[in-house]
Amino acid sequence: MRTIAAGADKRILLWKKNLPHILAYGILGVATLPIILMYLWLLLSSFAKQMKYGFIPVHISLENWSFLWSNVQQAGTTYPSIWLAAWNSLLFSGSLTMLEVIIGVMAGYALSRLDFPGRKGLMKMTLLLHAFPSVALLIAVFYILNFLGLFDSIWGVVLVKTALQIPMTAWIIKGFFDDVQWDVEWAGMIDGCSRFKVWYSIVIPLIKPGIAAVSIFSFLSGWSEFLLLYSFILSDANVTLATYLQKLISDPNQINYGLLSAVSLFYMIPVLVLFIVSQKSLMQVSAGGGKRV
Amino acid sequence: MPALIRKWKFPFLMLGPFMILIFLFFFLPVILIAVLAFTGMDSSMQWTFNGLENFKHLVSDPNLGVILKNTCLYVFFTLLINVFFGLILGILTTYFIQKESIGLLFRTLWMLPRISPPVVYVLLWLWFFDPSQYGVLNSFRAFLHVPPEKWLASNPMTAVILANGLVGASYGMIIFSSAIKSIPGELIQAARVDGAFHWAMIQDIIIPAVRWPLMFVTLWQLLSLLTSYDYILLLTNGGPLYSSEVLALYSYHKAFENFQYGYGSALAFILVGIALVMTTILWKIFGMNKLMGSSRIE
């Protein structure tokens, strides 16, 4: 009798102890469910001809994915090829990444190691610019691009986007250089290498993880970029996946969620792959550089 | 002299491209905005200085009232979701869920909206609010045999706030959870032994530990919310009429839709002014290290 009572007591105590944790799982589960369902819908509806109640797929088919081999046509207008948009997106994000990494590594090294007048001021400025909301300057940026003859060109937007992200990139890379021991550089210089040679062949290989993280981050942010491409690019020849999808969404004749979700998934493949590969460092970078431009 | 050149050549080369980009797309634009704000530049791109005309026009702008009201509503409620929901997510995934792998799984799922391209993320919300019976909300109504509702037309501000709120919540979540994780384990253990209940633990240990990040996230998000608008542009484009238009988007529309570059610049000029003040506050309160502490990859 007593043991049963004690057992019950123990069970109640255990319950009392675990209840908050169980509740936490419950709340998190319920709160996260909409996100899971939304992305699940994206997947399901891309393979379905029709969705019952908007949610249950009927008639599974690959029809929505036909944009991969034939251009989308809607009410008399033919959309540009998805592969052109994918190529342009790749060109945009790829050159953005290259430019950002090269300029960022150069500037980050200078900020970390070199001595020049106004070094402190430049460091403060780099930090301030990271907080500066550059979207407010879009009108002036338009004027400058127009003046330089770079309006409606992917290269113009690459330059703008690189500039907007470079303060943060340079600062992150500076952090990596800071962690490299001075001795490594001294040793190289005593052996008779020039400053540049030491930097290039000894120090840079040591910060490879930092370069990888910054590359992935800038590629992703270029791949997702919408506002700058939408504002500064007009012609169909320069369409990217972001503006392509936006065109499909805003077309009043187009309420075909099947097609929209298939294009979205196609667009998200690199994002998901890179996110899974680099999830940990990305979550940290994204916390600091979370400001979307 | 040659020695001097040799000394500065290397830093100059290394910083050159960086400085050119920053000059071209940060400094020059700030100056340009300040000058353009006093012109009546339109699509003909002529510099016609008109003094304070733009600002006089702004004060008498019939849309200004509703736009200011929208901006306040949007910033206040989005910030509320960002900070409080972010904090709740942070506490739940780090403190209550003690298995790190599960906490990480939830945090990863919450990152999905943030890493999704804005166009894709907005598509999900468009489907959620779809006016036909196939939208999420309307399919619930269909179950109850209630006719579909045009959610985006009837509640544009709510939609805008929800969509932005969820994205920002994940930002708060990450910052807060790393702050909570940095609380020494002994402190929590000691509190446990003393019989502290969860509520007391949150109040006395977790909240003090996240006090600075809390302030940082609030100010940082306030700054971003005031000046960025890509989700609003994609979701409602400020409509219907001006019912979800905010100040930053209004400046954008004036310039890129109505080609009133001068007037748009005047609006942007005000925003830049607000942003500069806020950046200075951020700077003063958090200093250099705290501001950047969160973005160093370890």
- Tell me, what's the pLDDT at A130? 81
What SS3 class is residue A56?
A: strand
Predicted ipTM of the assembly: 0.87
With a CB cutoff of 8 Å and minimum separation 6, the contacts of A130 are A167, A168, A171, A289, B291, B292, B295
Residues of chain B found within 8 Å of residue A210, distances taken between Cβ atoms: 297
What SS3 class is residue A103?
A: helix
The reply to whether residue A144 touches residue B29, judged by beta carbons under 8 angstroms, is yes
CA gap A51, B132 in Å, rounded = 13
Does the structure show a pLDDT above 50 at A85? yes
Residues of chain A found within 8 Å of residue B136, distances taken between Cβ atoms: 54-55
Chain B: closest CA distance from residue A246 (Å)? 6
Of A1 and B116, the structure prediction assigns the larger pLDDT to B116
Interface check for B230 against chain A (CB to CB < 8 A): the answer is yes
Here the tokens at position A149 are 């003859």
- Tell me, what's the pLDDT at A6? 67
- Tell me, what's the pLDDT at B290? 52
Chain B residue with CA closest to A19: the answer is B96
- Tell me, what's the pLDDT at A290? 36
Probe site for chain A from B82, B222, B233, B297 (most A CB atoms < 10 A): B297
CA gap A204, A188 in Å, rounded = 13
- Scanning B90-149 for CB atoms below 8 A from A yields 92-93, 96-98, 106-120, 122-124, 126-128, 130, 132-136, 138-139, 142-143
What's the mean pLDDT in A113-125?
84
Chain A: closest CA distance from residue B62 (Å)? 22
Global pTM reads 0.87
Whether the CA torsion A38, A42, A45, A47 is positive or negative: it is: negative
CA gap B59, A276 in Å, rounded = 50
Q: Select from A54, A137, A227 the Cβ nearest to the Cβ of B268.
A: A137
Q: Select from B138, B174, B283 the Cβ nearest to the Cβ of A283.
A: B174
Planar angle of CA B56, B64, B229, nearest 5 degrees: 115
Kindly indicate the confidence band of residue A100, based on its pLDDT and cuts at 50, 70 and 90. Answer: very high
CA gap B259, A73 in Å, rounded = 31
Query: A102 and A170 in contact (C-beta within 8 Å)?
Result: no
Residues of chain B found within 8 Å of residue A55, distances taken between Cβ atoms: 136, 139
Q: How many CB atoms lie within 10 A of CB B167?
A: 21
Kindly indicate the confidence band of residue A293, based on its pLDDT and cuts at 50, 70 and 90. Answer: very low
Residues of chain A found within 8 Å of residue B296, distances taken between Cβ atoms: 172, 175, 288
CA gap A213, A172 in Å, rounded = 10
* b/e A275-285 (16+ beta carbons within 10 angstroms → b): beebeebbbbb
Residue B197 backbone zone (phi > 0: left; psi -120 to 50: alpha; other: beta): beta
Residues of chain B found within 8 Å of residue A116, distances taken between Cβ atoms: 8, 11-12, 15
With a CB cutoff of 8 Å and minimum separation 6, the contacts of B21 are A103, A159, A162, A163, A166
- Tell me, what's the pLDDT at B245? 92
Q: What is the DSSP string of A128-169?
A: HHHHS-GGGGHHHHHHHHHHHT-TT-HHHHHHHHHHHHHHHH
The reply to whether residue B226 touches residue A133, judged by beta carbons under 8 angstroms, is yes
Chain A: closest CA distance from residue B263 (Å)? 10
Instruction: Give, for all 298 residues of chain B, the pLDDT tens digit.
Output: 667 777 777 888 889 999 999 999 999 999 999 999 898 888 777 788 888 888 988 888 888 999 999 999 999 999 999 999 999 999 898 888 878 888 888 888 998 998 899 999 999 999 888 887 777 888 778 778 787 788 888 889 999 999 999 998 988 898 898 888 888 877 777 776 666 677 778 888 888 888 888 888 888 888 889 988 989 999 998 878 888 999 999 999 998 988 989 999 999 999 989 888 888 887 788 765 554 444 333 3
Chain B residue with CA closest to A241: the answer is B119
Q: Which amino acid makes up residue B3?
A: A
- Tell me, what's the pLDDT at B158? 92
Closest CA to B234 of B154, B125, B130: B125
Of B247 and A21, the structure prediction assigns the larger pLDDT to B247
List, for residues A223-281, the tens digit of each pLDDT value.
999 999 999 998 888 899 999 999 888 877 767 888 889 999 999 999 999 888 877 66
How many A/B residue pairs have CB atoms within 8 Å? 288
The reply to whether residue A131 touches residue B279, judged by beta carbons under 8 angstroms, is yes
The reply to whether residue B275 touches residue A132, judged by beta carbons under 8 angstroms, is yes
CA gap A232, A226 in Å, rounded = 10
What SS3 class is residue A73?
A: strand
Give the position of tokens 């019976």.
Answer: B133
Q: Select from B22, B28, B109 the Cβ nearest to the Cβ of A129.
A: B22
Interface check for B32 against chain A (CB to CB < 8 A): the answer is yes
The reply to whether residue A287 touches residue B275, judged by beta carbons under 8 angstroms, is no
Of A96 and A74, the structure prediction assigns the larger pLDDT to A96
